[in-house]
Amino acid sequence: MLFRQSLFESVVERLSEEGTDAADEESPAVSHRIHGMPGNYLADSLMTEPQEATRLQQAYLFLMEDGPLDEPAAPPPPQARAPVIPARLVRLSLEEIAEDLGIAPTDDREKLAERRRQFARLNHPDKVDADFRERATKRMKIANLLIDEAIRRLS
């Protein structure tokens, strides 16, 4: 280490001296190759004849005895089963729906709103098969009517 130089400066100076010595000893020959690549790929592709390329492509065709792959056959449609009506959709009278709602005389507005949401969650027409939507809609209308009447009685 020289005086008045930091350790870093002395290392940089030593490396630069070694670099100039190595450059003077060897002057690399001019090459068209990219250093670090094992071969010249451009020359190989230019020398390849079209017949050889075709031969290379056909080398694996024996694996495809039936020829190129066609689109897979569509799976058979599933057996259509007749939808089964849920037991709750059979109950369409006012008394049965009131029983399903469970409205009590002591219920306040918040409790009635909660009962409406619970009933809709279970009986909404969008959650049943298309064949039973009319029944579910009728059931929802009756339930909303019963809850609206109970709210009017509170007022």
Distance from C-alpha of 129 to C-alpha of 55, rounded to nearest angstrom: 59
Residue range 72-130, pLDDT digits in tens: 777 777 777 888 899 999 999 999 999 999 999 999 999 999 999 999 999 999 999 99
H helices of the chain, where?
Answer: 7-25, 41-47, 50-58, 94-101, 109-123, 133-154
Query: Closest Cα partner for 94 from 48, 56, 147?
Result: 147
Domains annotated for the chain, with CATH where assigned, are 89-154 (1.10.287)
Cα torsion 98, 99, 101, 103 to 10°: value is 80
Residue range 32-57, pLDDT digits in tens: 555 565 555 555 555 556 666 677 76
Contact 94, 138 (CB under 8 A): no
